[in-house]
Amino acid sequence: MLKLYGGARSRASIVQWYLEEIGLPYEFVLLDMQVGAHLQPEFLAINPMGKVPAIADGNYHLWESGAILLYLAEKYSQTPTSPEQRGEIAQWVLFANATLGPGIFVEASRERESARLFPALNQIFEQQPYLLGPEFSVADVAVGSMLAYMPLMLKLDFSAYPGIVAYLQRVTERPAYQKVMSARAT
């Protein structure tokens, strides 16, 4: 059985949400980061960087939330077969982790990046329900999780972006999202 390693309030919840979406059985291994469980030899054998999330899928180990999402989509979900479609999925997963997250969560760049990124995302969501069109995908887990964290952690108000508001409502009402995030809140 696949093992997902995470800590309290870590990006492991993003991977866990996707695992629930695709219905893949897994064991969640909660590491106590406060006491350094992520720095113990057993975990460093899985991720020598000592960071979560990480997975063990049999003897295969992988870390970094975006890489894990792409791997799970490729191996266990119905990932599109064309290089162009896979490229578009990778584009959005990488955008979430390399552009959207750092651009908004880093205070020094938040105002500039908000003005650039939110109108473009809003326009996409005013034209289609999900990033790739009518169907929810792993790309929505990556981008949707980042957007959902922003009002919670940064108190950002998306009311000027009705497309984003409607998108967030769609993704946060999904049963898999509710199951993972409700468990995290308790």
Span of 79-88, 119-128, 149-158 with lowest mean pLDDT: 79-88
4-20 pLDDT, tens digit per residue, is 999 988 999 999 999 99
Cβ count within 10 A of residue 163: 19
44-53 pLDDT, tens digit per residue, is 999 999 999 9
| Residue 74 amino acid letter | E
| DSSP-H helix ranges across the chain | 12-22, 41-44, 65-76, 83-94, 101-105, 107-127, 138-149, 162-172, 175-185
Q: Is 12 helix (H, G, I), strand (E, B) or coil?
A: helix
Instruction: Taking residues 52-56, report their average pLDDT.
Output: 98
* Radius of gyration for the chain, computed over Cα atoms and rounded to the nearest angstrom: 16
Task: Give the pLDDT band (50/70/90) at residue 147.
Answer: very high
Q: For residue 186, is pLDDT > 50? A: no
Percent of the chain with pLDDT over 90: 92
